[in-house]
Amino acid sequence: MSLINVTLPDGSRRELPAGATVADLAASIGAGLAKAALAGQVNGSLVDLSAPLADGVTVAIITEKSPEALEIIRHSTSHLMAQAVKELFPQAKVTIGPAIENGFYYDFDVETPFTPEDLERIEQRMAELAAVGQELTRKVLPAAEAIAFFDKMGEPYKKELIQDIGAETVAIYSQGAFADLCRGPHVPNTNKLKAFKLLSIAGAYWRGNENNRMLQRIYGTAFVDKKELEAYLHRLEEAKRRDHRKLGRELDLFSFSDEVGPGFAIWHPKGAMLRTLLEDFERKEHVKRGYDIVVGPQILKTELWQRSGHYDNYRENMYFTEVDEQSFGIKPMNCLAHMMIYKSQLRSYRDLPQRYFELGTVHRHERAGVLHGLLRVRCFTQDDAHILCTPEQLDGEIKGVLRFVSEVMGIFGFEFEMELSTRPEKSIGSDEDWERATNALLGALKDTGRPFDINEGDGAFYGPKIDIKLRDCLDRRWQCATIQCDFTLPERFDLTYVTSEGERKRPVMVHRVILGSIERFIGVLIEHFAGNFPLWLAPVQAVVLTVTDNQIPYAQEVFKQLRAAGIRVQEDLRNEKLNFKIREAQLQKIPYMLVIGDKEVEQGTVTPRFRDGHNLQAMKPEEFIAFVASEVTAHK
């Protein structure tokens, strides 16, 4: 009998009969592994358990504990959903159904849109099909034969996909009476799919083209076991409760209006106060670190945007206007004005680095379909800064920004992850400058000792960048801070400095934001804190509440005293029950409620009640003022 040898991940070798499959290898290792096996990894590529093995390959068995398992389970569950849909809605045409970051989806062409009740029926049928234990089998067919197969099934989208693939052969997976075009791999049997949930329905154009037919997309998720699924569904419910759009309305922070236009936030008094607190914090922190505050115009001549490369590489995201027959671009970024400030006078090496900071409002044309509350808008303010320095200073400046980010994120209680984004296809500048810039960022990242990922081809068009992603309390990632290294724009704008030898040299420019878009960061903060802002950030820090009308004169005195001391305070003197007033203040997530009854009037005190319900001891108003000041200082 002919034999083959395969290598396992630990370096050991195993001898098998020729023609043995991944499943055979798992069985030869042990019955427990054979039962747990979901798929295989051969020379780094994922394959089905039924895949035959060749002599000399390296093989790993994929089980539920493997990092690759979840995507395989989710992709297999999307097929299970498509099978259930076809059984319940035989006229539905299937299109594509990939696994995605948090689950899967499948698009269907149906005459009547799906309803929430339909989702319940589909999910129930999926559970029944999974329990039956259908084997998934893979067959490779010539493309012409596969086209005829799907044509007979009445599946035109599959025919189109095969034609576009252009391969001589394609793979088809079958389970029961259902068959689908797919590369795989998949679980060996539907009984491996134990924990799934259908989540929502949305419209989606075939291939994302609005000129094509509108399809019905069903989103779902799947996990290895029900415990993980329940934990995820709990996080989803928590995310809905924390949705910044919902809380923004309830807390009266901001709004959007169709009359104004999509993507343009309107800030109400409390929301504007929150912004002001953040912006004041930013100014203070930047000045402390040696930045100069600057302000640039909202529109600049289109000629400048052409020189910078924005016109050729970014104009689809820009707005343009005309003044006195001269074309102007409304700024999507702040760097051009900052370079003009640098260029306004001769600079010596002794003047560097120059650090220009601007809370600059920018406009970018985002497609209507991607706008999302404060997280994706068309008008936003960046805590934007540009550092112009010598090449010798570059490493220290990048590390200084990384420290800045770390310190600020610690104040807000955020953990973060980092990745280095490299040169995209659409870019400007020489290979040498890109290599210098990339190496500068890479070296600074390595010296931090923190882990980071490489994100190939996602840099800015003028330079590579470090992207910093915050992790919130629900373990979601948010892109906020970024550090970009740029040798190219100083060249295009002929920026120079005089060296100690009297020579002219080019400075390097570091583009960076710490919080990023103020709008986006506020949206993240709202969801992270569920609207329960820390005292130093709360738009309203305290509210004075009366028990009856008898306490109104004293309550008004307390209100004035607190306001004069700089506390952001409101008063509720309405003739309502105290519990009603307290409940309203709690819904508004105000940190402190100062209850004033006859006893407080008599003693000249207030009784603070925290928003979580616990009471502090009665204290004099000036004691409460000192208490607030110390708490703000301690947590800021």
Q: What are the pLDDT digits (tens) for 35-76?
A: 999 999 999 999 999 999 999 999 999 999 999 999 999 999
pLDDT, residue 367, reads 87
| 593 burial via Cβ count (<10 Å: 0-12, 13-18, 19+) | buried
Q: Is 451 helix (H, G, I), strand (E, B) or coil?
A: coil
Closest CA to 585 of 632, 618, 542: 542
pLDDT tens figures, 458-487: 998 889 999 999 988 888 888 899 999 999
The CATH topology of domain 3-62 is Ubiquitin-like (UB roll) (3.10.20)
Catalytic residue among 158, 242, 331, 335: 335
pLDDT tens figures, 431-465: 999 999 999 999 999 999 999 999 999 998 889 99
pLDDT, residue 635, reads 67
The letter for the amino acid at 116 is P
Gap between the Cα atoms of 355 and 358, Å rounded: 10
Average pLDDT over residues 296-303: 96
Q: Tell me, yes or no, if 389 is annotated catalytic.
A: no
CA 469 to each of CA 15, 188, 328, 417, 441: distance values in angstroms, whole numbers, following the listed order: 47, 37, 34, 5, 16
Gap between the Cα atoms of 480 and 408, Å rounded: 12
**With pLDDT > 70 as the criterion, what percentage of the chain qualifies?**
100
**Residue with the larger pLDDT of the pair 367 and 443:** 443
Q: Tell me, yes or no, if 386 is annotated catalytic.
A: yes
CB atoms within 10 A of CB 530: 16
Extract the tokens encoding 110: 């149906």
Catalytic residue among 48, 118, 383, 384: 384
pLDDT band, very low/low/confident/very high, at 208 (cuts 50, 70, 90): confident
Catalytic residue among 159, 244, 286, 465: 465
Average pLDDT over residues 286-299: 96
Q: Tell me, yes or no, if 384 is annotated catalytic.
A: yes
Q: Tell me, yes or no, if 465 is annotated catalytic.
A: yes
Residue 272 has pLDDT above 80, yes or no: yes
Catalytic residue among 194, 275, 511, 581: 511
pLDDT band, very low/low/confident/very high, at 1 (cuts 50, 70, 90): low
Q: Tell me, yes or no, if 14 is annotated catalytic.
A: no
Gap between the Cα atoms of 153 and 132, Å rounded: 24
Residue 124 has pLDDT above 80, yes or no: yes
Q: What does R_g of the chain's alpha carbons equal in angstroms?
A: 31
Closest CA to 410 of 488, 471, 486, 337: 471
pLDDT band, very low/low/confident/very high, at 573 (cuts 50, 70, 90): very high
Catalytic residue among 75, 86, 242, 386: 386
109 membership: H or E segment, kind and range: strand 103-109
pLDDT, residue 565, reads 96
Average pLDDT, the chain: 94
Gap between the Cα atoms of 422 and 63, Å rounded: 34
Was domain 69-240 assigned CATH 3.30.980.10? yes
CATH C-level class of 268-296+332-529: alpha beta
pLDDT tens figures, 311-327: 998 999 999 999 999 99
Catalytic residue among 158, 244, 364, 589: 364
**Superfamily grouping for domain 542-635:** Anticodon-binding domain (3.40.50.800)
Residue 400 has pLDDT above 80, yes or no: yes
pLDDT band, very low/low/confident/very high, at 101 (cuts 50, 70, 90): confident
Residue 78 has pLDDT above 80, yes or no: yes
Q: Tell me, yes or no, if 560 is annotated catalytic.
A: no
pLDDT band, very low/low/confident/very high, at 368 (cuts 50, 70, 90): confident
pLDDT tens figures, 609-620: 999 888 889 999
pLDDT, residue 133, reads 92
The residue ranges of every structural domain in the chain are 3-62, 69-240, 268-296+332-529, 542-635
Q: Tell me, yes or no, if 118 is annotated catalytic.
A: no
